[in-house]
Amino acid sequence: MDADWLVFHPNPSTPRFAPPPGAVDAHCHVFGPGDVFPYAPERKYTPCDAGKDQLFALRDHLGFARSVIVQATCHGTDNRALVDALRAAGDRARGVATVGEAITEAELADLHAAGVRGVRFNFLKRLADFTPHDVLRRIADKVTAFGWHVVVYFEAPDLAELQPLFTALPTPVVVDHMGRPDVGLGVGHPQFQAFIRWMAEDQTVWSKVSCPERLSLAGPPYDDVVPFQRTLVERFPDRVLWGADWPHPNLKGQMADDGVLVDQIPKFAPTPALQRKLLVDNPMRLYWG
């Protein structure tokens, strides 16, 4: 397997923007270490090890109080590294797991006790094998009893096809990285307008305004992504989340400086009130409520 991904930034800058007290980084990952928590045989990439202690140190460095740790595809449905990090973080972290349809109620209860509050469905063909929609539906039905939500990761052209599945899910739906719009097309393009319309029509849909480093065509400081983030933050201030996406798995091109990502926040959430909703009130309601 080619190691064409980049290692996370060794020395991220200290952000000038100070997040409000209690701020939550609502999208980050832990990887391995692989000799303790092996990567999934079916993975599409092998990440660099990026363990919980490094994540917690970065959280503190960036001025955040809490983390939502999201299971990435390289760990498959083996959530042991995630659970280990959640247990170590105590009340300072919550998790989003990946599970198969064979998961039992007792296993879900264990995940819940560790701090898991959602499951993730990944629709990117380069990252995950296809799972039939009726299987996903059954998984969503199982987690409803725990009050969890479903996190979905897809690319903008696929929304139309996936929307009926999402709409039928019995849980809130949280979209990773704004549904990966093509920023070259602009906010006014029908693709992003369809995403906005969906969020407007369905009050159970949330979006992470994250991952400018993956979406940007211009590169840091990712100003070409700001109009997309700002549109969602201003239109749906109570249903947006932000995350740094450390350690930026599977990123090609140029590694992100996490401090630069934090400094982007006031460009799309320009007032203290919007910043507080985005970074504190919304994630606290969804993950700690």
Rounded Cα gap, residues 71 and 78, in angstroms = 9
Q: Are 12 and 61 in contact (CB under 8 A)?
A: yes
By CB under 6 A, residue 216 contacts ligand 0GY: no
By CB under 6 A, residue 32 contacts ligand 0GY: no
Among candidates 213, 207, 263, which has minimal Cα distance to 231? 207
> What six digits make up the tokens of 284?
């606290």
By CB under 6 A, residue 250 contacts ligand 0GY: yes
Rounded Cα gap, residues 209 and 232, in angstroms = 8
By CB under 6 A, residue 67 contacts ligand 0GY: no
By CB under 6 A, residue 25 contacts ligand 0GY: no
Q: Are 85 and 69 in contact (CB under 8 A)?
A: yes
Peptide bond before residue 33 is cis, with ω within 30 degrees of 0: yes
By CB under 6 A, residue 79 contacts ligand 0GY: no
Q: Are 213 and 251 in contact (CB under 8 A)?
A: yes
Question: Is 245 annotated as catalytic?
Answer: yes
Catalytic residue among 245, 257, 263, 281: 245
By CB under 6 A, residue 116 contacts ligand 0GY: no
By CB under 6 A, residue 50 contacts ligand 0GY: no
Residue with tokens 């007032």: 271
Burial class (CB in 10 A: 0-12, 13-18, 19+), 124: middle
By CB under 6 A, residue 233 contacts ligand 0GY: no
Where does this chain touch ligand 0GY (CB under 6 A) — which range of 159-167, 185-193, 227-235, 244-252?
244-252
How many amino acids of this chain bind ligand 0GY (CB under 6 A)? 11
Q: Which of 49, 176, 213, 258 binds ligand 0GY (CB under 6 A)?
A: 176
Contact residues toward ligand 0GY (CB under 6 A) are: 72-74, 122, 127, 153, 176, 214, 245, 249-250
Catalytic residues: 245
